[in-house]
Chain A
Amino acid sequence: MNKTSAMIKQIQATYPESSISVKDVVDSILHRNQQGRNYFTLTIIRDGLSISNEYNKEIFNILIELASPRYNFLTLHFNFINDDGEPIEIDGELYYESIKTGTFFDPEKGTEVENYLERIFPFFKVVSE
């Protein structure tokens, strides 16, 4: 069994009741990655597999598991949407600090952002071999 198959099997076993196939999610990511995409979100995966949003939780469960360092497959990242509506990638440590303290400062302006969780968007990248 190769590394990807073993990963799929292990994650599927973690969520035996899931209606979403881990293999379908992984295949979709790999297929798009081969076409040059390396930006994946819950919505991109869901729409790519033509799945309704009632399965958001199950898809996110799989994505967050695929981002475990044990598999070296995906990594988790965050975009902050600035006042101009532009995404700015923020460091994972900055995100963690904001969760711990409950405060987040605009990385460009230095001003505190209220309701910052509404302006931070998680996304995933495939780890390059």
Chain B
Amino acid sequence: MTQELSLHEVFAIYNLDPQIRRRINLRAVRDPKSFLEILMEDIEEAIEELQTKRDLFNKEDVNEDLITTYVISNLNGKGHDASHDNKDGGHVDVTIINKNCNIKWKAEAKIFNGEGYIYKGWEQLTKRYLAGNKTDSVAGMLIYCFKDNAKSRLASWLAHLSSLESIQQSILPCGLRADTNSILHGSGTQIQVRHFMINLYFPTTSHRAA
């Protein structure tokens, strides 16, 4: 009988590339909480890669959809089931499904064109896309910031949001992420939203930063 391969040997085939470890984790988990831990790590890595290439996105013809497509493609490359414009109470910018964990994570994506503009996205997310289903307890806001000082933009966005809605907020130590807890208007159920302020500021261009 041929010797079976242990995980130690499987990892060795990939020269200990952490990607395979995470992909195996993704297939192994059954608990929504575990899935979300993996998803948040993968989104952070996708954002890091997006920010590294931010010069490519500082062009007039780059819109929210193009940047979001990049993020979706990156997450699919990491083994997720991510889609763009999925029809679910409207055209949801980002939908990530994991049937093993019975979770459907939705996110709205917006370029930071002022707090009022972001709020429109928030309303779409919380009033249209999230219906209070069992899978609707966590969601995200991806905010693409071409302006300087993204950290202060997140603070101003949260201040604006809390002036309009009853939310509990907690800014993560990095200053570019925050979690809010609030009640969905339609269902009355609780929703936790992770806000990702993504720094795409690139000083050689002026049109976005203006």
Contact = CB atoms under 8 A, between A and B. Distances in A.
A64 B27 contact: yes
Contacts of B97: 69-70
A49 interface: no
A69 B38 CA distance: 15
A48 B27 CA distance: 24
B13 interface: yes
Contacts of A56: 5, 13
Interface in A53-75: 56-57, 60, 64-65, 67-70, 72, 75
B4 A43 contact: yes
Contact of B28 (A41, A65, A70, A76): A76
Interface string B1-21: 011111111110110000011
Contacts of B7: 78, 117-118, 120-122
A99 B27 CA distance: 13
Given A56-B13, A69-B99, A118 B28 contact: no
A78 B6 contact: no
Interface in A73-121: 75-76, 78, 91-93, 95-96, 99, 115, 117-121
Given A99-B21, A99-B25, A119 B31 contact: no
A47 interface: yes
A42 interface: yes
B152 interface: no
Contacts of A122: 5, 7, 10, 24
B4 A121 contact: yes
B4 A96 contact: no
B115 interface: no
B41 to A, nearest CB: 11
Interface residues of A, number: 31
Given A96-B34, A121-B5, A122-B7, A78 B28 contact: yes
Contact of B6 (A47, A60, A96, A121): A121
B27 A42 contact: no
Contacts of B98: 69
A117 B28 contact: no
Nearest to B23: A64
B153 interface: no
A51 B207 CA distance: 56
A42 B29 contact: no
Contacts of B24: 64, 76, 122
Contacts of A120: 6-7
Interface of B: 2-11, 13-14, 20-21, 23-25, 27-31, 34, 79, 81, 97-101
9 contacts: A41-B5, A42-B4, A69-B81, A72-B99, A75-B27, A93-B28, A93-B34, A115-B8, A122-B5
Interface of A: 41-43, 46-47, 56-57, 60, 64-65, 67-70, 72, 75-76, 78, 91-93, 95-96, 99, 115, 117-122
